[in-house]
Structure formats: C-alpha cells, structure tokens
Structure 1
C-alpha cells in the first residue's frame, strides 16, 4: 500500500468516526483512545477479578483498603483541599506524602486535576464546566473523560491563574515526571509489596491493587461530579446544582457535603461539621497537631448561618456526630 493510499484510509476512518459521533448526538468529539482504554480496562477488571481475586489472604484485603484510604487522601487532602483551594498550608514532608498518595490514585497529572477542578468551581454546571452535570449522570461521572473538552472549557481553563502550581519547582518536577510516579505508586509498588511481604499470588495481587482498589477509588472520586450533583439536599444554597450526599461523603472520605463545599470552597473541612464520614478532615487535623498542616481556613458560624437562612432549602443540618 502506498503512502497516499494509507493517508486516504486514515482520512476516511476519521470522517467515519466524526459521523458516528454526530449520529450519537455528542457535543464534543470522542477521544477514541481514552474511550477504548477506559472501556477495555473495565472489561479486563471484571474478567481478571472474577478469575483471580479469590482465594485471597486477609493481608491483601487489608492492604487494599489501606491503599484506598491513602490514595483517597492524596486526592481530597492534597489535590483538592491543599492545592486546588489552598484551604490550608503544608510543610515539605506533608507535601511529599500528598504527592506520593495522589500518584497512587492513578489520576491525571496534578496540574490537570487542579485546573479542571478550579474551572468546575468557577463555572459549575455550565458549558464551561468540564463535567457539567446538566449533560447527564454518565457524562458527569465518566463520559467527560472520554470526550474532548469543548471550546468554553478550554478557553476558561487558559484564563485561570495557575502560577501557584506552575511556578512551584517541586510541583513542576512532579508534573514533568508524573507518569513515572503514577506507575510506581499506583501499580508497581502496591502490587510488588503484596506479593513479597506475605507471599500473595501475583494474579491475586494484580486483581486487588490494579483493579479492585484502583477502580474503587477512581469511581468513588467520580461520584462527587455525578451523584453529588444529582441526589441530596441543599441546606446552604438551593439555587446551585451541588448537593449534600452522605453516600458520596462516605466513599470519598468526606467530599460528599458538596452543597456546602461549593458555597464555602475555601473551608479546609469541605463541610460545616466534622462528622463520622469526614475522614479527610480528621487527617488534616491530625497533621495540624504535629505541625505539618497549618493556617487552616474555615467559614465562621455567623457566615454559614447567614447564608443558609438566605439561600438554603431549609433542610436541617444537625446530622453530624461532632461539631466544631
């Protein structure tokens, strides 16, 4: 086949895919490589876990739960509350812990994560929101990762001030080599430790670390964009889409009190109260006690009560087990 014929086939395939996208009614072009990889990863996870996840040693399950918590804290404590919202400050040891923990979650790079989330907050549930909940539950949960960003998302993302991330030498180095950190902390180290520390079968180790634990945290984090924008109540501002969702709060270590978080995004607790589900706040307070986390920002009770009375839906918020 000549080079000209090859070029003609590629163009023909591109036109076919674009026509397929339009026939499905997509507003954005499909990122076919991402869509295929995400789909196949889930198919492989079901097949592999069905055949190799059991029998399993109790240490393997316990370590998978531990890695779920660590990777979750890397997202909620590090990428979200520290770097996106600057809700508190951290010493170098805590930053390094957060970076390793975030890498273990297998997300996009920290810079991408922060940019997407800042755009989400500034233009929540509009066409400039990367995971606009008004486009449906599937899109806001995982579909947005399979599609190219529309023009509004790209424009607003470029307009954001990201100098606190791009100008930090530590974060520049981290983002430059992020793919290697992700491979190491998300897949290689957890799986290898599972095999060599207590002699787990390698197939079982892969099932629990690369599939069950990873996808468990992956989808838990995505529920903040989907379920917490679709189900729940709005005690702080009834005029916005984000809601308080206890299930989301549980699986994400405290990120489900989403109506409050969108009203007071700077609050390090991401909730009015510290309750049983808000493990992220517990961890931050623990590091605060040893001096690794400091300058914790939070909304005052007067500010919260005033906003809730003016804008809330009247839902009582006396569910937490612990107050300030």
Structure 2
C-alpha cells in the first residue's frame, strides 16, 4: 500500500482539461515538504502521548466510538477504495459509490486519490526492484542496509522530491472529472477529517471538553495509527512474513496486522494476484475489506467483483518439495 504527499495546488482548469492536469513529473515545493512533515509529525506525537493521556483522563465512550467509526471509514476508503478499486480494478462501482470511495479515502490524509494510485501502480510495476518508490531492500540486504531501507519504505520515501508521473500511471483517473474534482478538493477533505470528529464529540457530550478529546483521539491518534498501519504494509510486509504464494517480490503475510489493516497485511497473495478482491484467502485470514466489498455487492452498488476461485488460488501456491 501507499501513503502519498498531501497537497496538490494546481488550478481548477483540471476539471475542464483533466488530461493535462496532475502531471506528477514536477518536483515537490519546499512548503509541501514542510506541510507533509507537520501532518506526519503532529498526529505521531499524539499517538505517542495516547497511553499516558488515556491513563489519566480524556478518554470516554464517545471518543472510542467516533475514533473507531472514523478509522474504519477512512481505512476502508484506502483499502477498498484507493487500493483494490481505483488502483487494481478488483470490482466495478456505481457512480455514487465511486465518488464516495474517493472522498472517504481522502479522509485518511494519505494524499489525493490520483497521486496515491499513481504511486501504488508504480510500486507494483517495479516491486522490490529498481524503480519501486518504497522497497525496504533498496539499499541492500545487510542489517544496516535493511534498517535504512525499512525507514525509507515506511515513511522516508514520502519526502522524495521527485513525484510519480500521473499521466503515465493513472491516465484513466485523469479522464474522470469526478475523481479529478475530488483530488482538487483534497485540502478541504483534510480539514473535514480533522474537525468532524471534534464537532461530533462536542455535540454528543454537549461540551467543549468532549470536542477536544474527540479531536485528540478520533482525529490525531486515528490518523497517526492509520498512517503507520498503511506504511507498515510497505515496509514490514515486504521484509518479513509467510510467503505461501509465488510472487516476483518479497511480499509476505503478517497476521498481526490483519485487523488494523482491514485485511491488507495478507500481502503475499495480493502481489501474486493483484486484481483479487480478497487478500485473505485461507482459513482464519480475516479480511474486513473483502467482507465490506461483499456487502456492497449484495446491495447492488458494486458488481463484477473479482473473487478468487479455489483453482486460481491453488495455481499460485508455492509447491513445497
């Protein structure tokens, strides 16, 4: 998975001429790097402070409910929306769901949808090889090299000056005016993602203290946790884990990330069969994203879902001697 830089500043001409917008081949501005650092650093500080804060004060049931709902909503926007739908076409969605997936994925504050998709498609093209934007193996296989590579894969790559060329890797999305518009609205969606939990907390508790604690837990901590879970798919799941399926990279299944990642950490099968709507295919492999897609399919909002057949899964298994 991918978490991309935050702000895109091109004009609304993109809505009239989307094929010329979001080129992605220019360099990030200094202020973009600063903004990125703040959006990573501040929620991370909140995450570090979460345990002592919870121990002493400031955590109520309303905070927990709002945080869990926002985590699942924005998390599924990334896993089911940005990743399995927009990047890999694991299913088709009717227009309202398509737009909704782009919006709720943006609530995760991992970058505009078009940039996110372009980065992740490039990752799959060069997975764990030269050209992969975030392979943990890029510096070598010694312990110091791997530690450096893990940092780069986890979050260091986000500060790379060069951007993925979106016309090359996401031309389909650049032709979609709805998605171009959502990408353009990304800064406003970020503001909504930060302030909506606070507003809900204040309304539920009818106090400013409720709004403040909801902002801490359901905005800052939620965003930080989701960021690091997403980045762990890039770093941890390409460094360790079981590899029961044949893939041309080092992707592995990491079971202890499965719940928080909504099923994305069953990463080995994903790289063996990228367009599959289900990543956790074996018994006990909980895949919340796949189950949610199944619900949308039953409602008629999603269709042509690429569920993996038993024969297809078995054909990709590693045959042990």
* Band the TM-score falls in, shorter-chain normalisation: 0.7 to 0.9
Change (3 A) 1:118 1:239: closer
Q: Could you list the per-position Cα deviations for residues 133-155 of structure 1 after superposition, in whole angstroms to 9, with x for gaps in the alignment?
A: 21421111111113324xxx74x
Change (3 A) 1:223 1:286: same
Change (3 A) 1:240 1:313: farther
**1:177 pairs with 2:177:** no
- 1: CA distance between counterparts of 2:68 and 2:89? 28
Query: Which structure has the larger Rg?
Result: 1
Deviation for aligned residue 1:261: 0.4
Deviation for aligned residue 1:95: 2.0
- 1: CA distance between counterparts of 2:157 and 2:50? 26
Residue 236 of structure 2 corresponds to 227
Q: 8 Å contact 2:246–2:272 — kept in the other structure?
A: yes
Residue 198 of structure 2 corresponds to 191
- 2: CA distance between counterparts of 1:190 and 1:106? 14
Deviation for aligned residue 1:271: 3.5
With CA pairs under 8 Å and 6+ residues apart, which has the higher RCO, 1 or 2?
Answer: 2
Q: 8 Å contact 1:87–1:297 — kept in the other structure?
A: yes
2:58 maps to which of 55, 76, 89: 55
Residue 250 of structure 1 corresponds to 259
Change (3 A) 1:242 1:198: same
Q: 8 Å contact 1:274–1:281 — kept in the other structure?
A: no
After TM superposition, the structure 1 = structure 2 runs for residues 1-324 of structure 1, keeping only pairs within 5 Å, are 33=34, 36-37=37-38, 38-43=40-45, 46=48, 50=52, 54-135=57-138, 136-149=149-162, 154=164, 157=165, 160-184=168-192, 186-199=193-206, 201=209, 202-237=211-246, 240-273=249-282, 275=284, 277-308=286-317, 312=318, 314=320
Deviation for aligned residue 1:104: 1.7
Greater displacement, 34-43 / 71-80: 34-43
- 2: CA distance between counterparts of 1:276 and 1:304? 14
Q: Could you list the per-position Cα deviations for residues 208-261 of structure 1 after superposition, in whole angstroms to 9, with x for gaps in the alignment?
A: 122211111111111110111111111112652100111222211000111110
Aligned to 1:145, what secondary structure does the other structure show?
A: helix
- Segments of 5+ residues of structure 1 without an aligned counterpart are 1-29, 316-324
Change (3 A) 1:44 1:60: closer
Residue 3 of structure 1 corresponds to none
- 2: CA distance between counterparts of 1:144 and 1:275? 33
- 2: CA distance between counterparts of 1:120 and 1:216? 22
